[in-house]
Structure 1
Amino acid sequence: MANAPLADAVSSGGVYDVGVGSAPATTCRVSDLFRDTDEASHRVTGAEMRQEHEDALVRVRLGVAASLYAALRCKHQPTAAHSLRVALGCSLWAASRGVAGDELDQLEVAALLHDIGKVGVPDELLMKPRKLSSDEAQLMNRHRKMGLYILLSCCESVEVMHTVGNAAAWYDGSRPDFELQGRDIPLGARLLAIVDAYDAMTTDHVYRPAMSRERALTELIECAGRQFDPDLVKEWVELQLGDITRLQAAVAQRWLVQLDQDAANRFWGFNPQPWPQESEPQLLFQQKLLDAMHDGVVFVDTKLEITLWNRGAERLTGIGRDAVIGHTWSAEMIDMCEENGRTVATANCPVVNAVEHGRQAHRRMTIGGRDGKALQVNVHAVPVIGPNHTVFGATLVLHDASPESSLEAQCQQLHEQVTKDPLTQVANRAAFDQAHPGYVSSHLAAKSPYSLIITDIDHFKRINDTFGHQAGDEALVKFAALLRDGCRPGDVVARYGGEEFVVLCSNCDSATASRRAEEIRQQIASTAMEMLDGQAITASFGVTDLRPGDTPDTMLRRADRALLTAKDQGRNRVEVIGDESAESRPKQPGFFRRLFARTDAAAVAGQDLLTPVPLKVAIEKLRGFVADHGAELVKIHENDLVLRIGGGVPLLRRASDGAWSLLIELSFSEQLFLRRSTAGQASDQVHTHVRVAIRPKRSRDAKRPEVRQKAEQLLISLRSYLMAHDVGEDEKGVLRKATTLVATWLGRSPEN
């Protein structure tokens, strides 16, 4: 790696910080490394396994510095977990680049310790449940200088210091306090910056939910050339969209076999102690009871630190437990207000009064609900007082007191009334066929998120052939029970057919649904089944969420594509085809503009779109649209193509009436945008321009209302798949025609 003076290896913070958050489903998880090793066979709890895995990885990689990692974990466990994920991600990326030797060692050590300075950050900043103010962010950014000070005391590697010190530098040199820019920034620092930002964006924070993988990659592309190295961003995007199974195996082999623990600990020892585990059966019963309650239950200690957040609290507030556990309670966290709408002052907060003054409170208030609207609740705050009148904390109970049934309550009633599958006692196929269209229409109308999980048991035929069909039936019953246990109130689990099941997740985006699917997958893989002689089964999962313009069929096909991808990449995994953030959804243009602007007179809908991804990525996304909508490719010439999508058969009034179909005409070209930094350095970004025209196959069908409505729906759906927005007058760049034919990426022989 390139070297620079140690005095210059100082940064002042990054755009994407991970001060408060929970673990996402990242590119290279700790569980992924151990899944293919003998160490994964030990029967331990999930928390113990994560602790054991982290300790093993840290010991073999850091040696003497493992004590620094232990200190960071004691200070703030989410930051330590983030650092380990970033190190594994950098290791995986380096494996794809062929990086080895000292350069790889330095990159991994720098990634593990890049946030070590947060041990000096005040707890109130690390635990703050809201986004930091500008002054607080400036104070938080001091952690980089403190981290370098710590490393200077124990690290003899100049390259590690340079990597950590320049990881926050912007590629175009526009960030203050950094002298290096462009390729003068060490390669390791440029790699680390991208992986660090990607993990931060795909992590769930109390002040911001995790982004989907596609949205996070789009964000990196948009920042390429300004904040990040554009060539490395393109490389990282292609790595994430490809098959990384082989690379994960290589990283597992390196961290668990090739790295020499004895050599790493030659002068220093590291003997971590497991976190205290409560093992009394009574506590297990209490936890099950709390999670089964419809009311929200929250526990806080004497420092107002949240120690419990049950599923009822998740349902009412829309905030996951992993995003708040260990953080300081405040009324503004859930937008708690008096019944008249007045904000609750700290002195009048029922939880604060229960802890500080031992006073019990029971009154009607409002909180921010899952859909962003105020929700009336009955609040009951009770101090927890010991034998000597010592206050140990408080319990908060939130009871839904809204006068009208919520969408989730209606979905729950539907879940209780649907016909059950006689074997597994979950909803059957007919119930799913009835519920899924209702979920799609109601969530589209409410503009609320909705996700679909489809899963099946891996190699189920082998179970029947080896243990018999009765054992196979018992495995199906157990599998369905594990799926049901992993759901919230309002979700529906249905047996789709054979060993295939679906989960309908109300008010849930793809990032949250994928984390829940991963938790269920791990639970299934670690559950011994008596009917299988104590062996465990595995399952593959496909996840997607509702997109603008979706129909029940397109959403189901997209989830099925994700499941097939999981199977193609080795099974026993979760694959997501997720929706983009609402920020990327364009405002719907006026009707006459869509009807006439830049389209022929016969078109019933059309638009000029611009998507911030290269042409190859745009075509891959178009393939998903084609598959999910059952479209047919009827013509292709260079960068122009025509798709045909069938419509419906109306009530016939004359013999000439019949089924209608729509033709979608697409013309692709790449557009090169030049960006100049404050330092005068130029960089380019490649976007894809798409000209769309939708017309009926027969001209007389253009007057049909259902044809126009379908065309509008298809345009909205296509825009969502391509992550595109309408081309504005100010978005004019240098047009460069793509040299690769669209047909090459579609993998189809055009019909002329």
Structure 2
Amino acid sequence: MLAETAVNRATADPMPQTSSWQFNGVSRGLLSVIELSHRSENFYREQADSTEAIPLAILREILSALHFRDENTFNHSRRVGLIAMGIAQQLCWEKENIKQLEIAALLHDIGKIGIPDHLLYKPGRFSAEDFGLMSHAVEVAEDILQSCRLPLSIRRTVLEARRYYSGLEDYSRPVGTELSQGARILAVADAYESLSREQVFRDAKDHHDITDFLKERAGTQYDPRVVETLCRWLDNGGLSLLRSAAGKDSSFIQSSQNGSLMMGAIGTVFAELYALEQAYDGFSIIDADRNVLLVNRGCQELFGRAGELFEPQPWTPDLFPITNFNHQAFGEDEYPLDVMVSKRRPMSVNVQIRQDDRHFEAAEVQCFPLFDVDGLFRGVAEFYKCKDRTRHQSHQFKELALQASRDALTGIANRGELENQLANIMDRYLADPQGSIFSVIYLDIDHFKSINDNYGHAVGDEVLVELAKLLRQEAYSNELAARYGGEEFVVLCPELELMQAAGRAERFRLEIAKLRFKGAPDLRITSSFGVAQIESQEKLDSVLKRADKALYESKKNGRNRTTVLRREELSQSLSKVTPAVENEDFVFKAELAGVLYDEFLIMKMKSFVHDNNAKVRHVTKGEVLLQLGKKKLGGRWGKDPSRQPVLIEMKSTNDERSGPAGGRKQKLQVKITPIGTVKKREVFQGRARHTYRMLRTYFVSE
């Protein structure tokens, strides 16, 4: 039972009796987390040769509690395990890996033990607040699996099974990262079994409706190959196996009376963790020997380790890098944990969390000592609360963030998301040039204007939607397909060398030629492609320019073809181009002067940014750097002002004179420079003067 402590009471440290006031609070839930972790540690230490992925006694206790809490959820987990094992067997998995997948399936819904009844059995649709509360079930499940010291493969399978197969649908997942196959199997098995059962909020679906549902979402939410394997397994006897297992109970689940006892012990742990996930931005549990046993997902994100799975380890200052609120380093024995351990009473400290060398986040850390019923010191709980914002994002916020990263018409990534992912993948390349190469595929629909002219804009939109759908289905799960604008698309291919990416582009090109359209059955389209790969000591802009140049070569040479371009080949072609005008001729300077109150200035600045879709690049006292307009991938300026990006630098200076009502006389020094390549000085000057006139309408001037 969880009530059995793994710490030797004979050596436990009793609570000191020197203070006039003593904290003697007992958190049974958090103590149970420590005991659960110690029991698992003892098992793995004593059974070093065991093939069990989790102690059978602990597995029985958790499943007994789940069975007592909600028998339907327990039976659902069993059937998901059967389906997942059937798929894995079809894919020729090893027996040991299949066993671990079964455990992941059995435990994937244990977070529901802590969900209130009014949510677990709600008959209607979930509200945004309901989704936020339900999301804690996943976080609590992660906490429990971490406390049980399960192998990372099982924990990763459970965690990643909640995510979309396609990175496009998961805005928080960097390009180049793939879900484990176990997670993809578990996701499909979970969906099939859930849809086959009658729920309080909907009727059960039949087998054919479910497979149609999964096939429709293959390539986006689910792995197409896993969906295909599931259908094959079901047709080869899996469906009969599921029906025969529907009425059977599990032999190793204890009686309902014992289940009640288990629910009382384990339920305390789940209730405590559920409350903590709601109340704090992050927390950690540390035992009396200063071993960190549990670090929840929120705490990992706070300290810049969002994508990592934590494993128990000794506490060190580097594990939780913090300074005092004035950014001064803590001295030896001055960390909140050290002070709390010495005083053995709760404390609260304002700190700065160091996320990297340049970014800090203000937070409050609360430290609580954990004592058992005999007053013996068992460990520490640290809770983090951010000062400036709430890190827990609602379901509604996540939906809005996802929408902001998508193209409204086609549903694939938009230009902003593409630029973000390009920056991320370039950072990874700079950190590991040998292991993080990438290629860029640039494509354009041939003669797209004539499609709109001859068939209408509705058909033109259908062409764009169908092409985007094809790219989404044909691209691998770790790749990114994006619409850059108009009929231009980009595919970002991590870990692909130039000729491999060219082969990928050729496959796209051939499949695009096979597309058919409901609005114009006789219409056939082709596309031109340009491909480039990052090369040694190369900047991102250079790669994109080569891909753009390669696309131009494809169109110049007859369209409907793929062209690859290496850096040395681009250098040869550019050597014939007349050098551009010196940069000094592409600078516009002016001044805005008037009585400008600080609050008024800030308000007008915000209005200008909002109304003109400007981007704030840098802000310091008295200086603001803005970007107006979007940069094209090739770096060239377009004809439309929105495709003529400029950098606006504004510096504020105070005059000695004062204006009415005490307002300071201020001047704004304005400097405008182009972003990208501009060949004609008069084009830039016209854009700069127009930008300056826009600024004048927002700020009071003389």
Report the TM-score, using the length of structure 2 for normalisation.
Answer: 0.31
TM-score by length of 1: 0.30
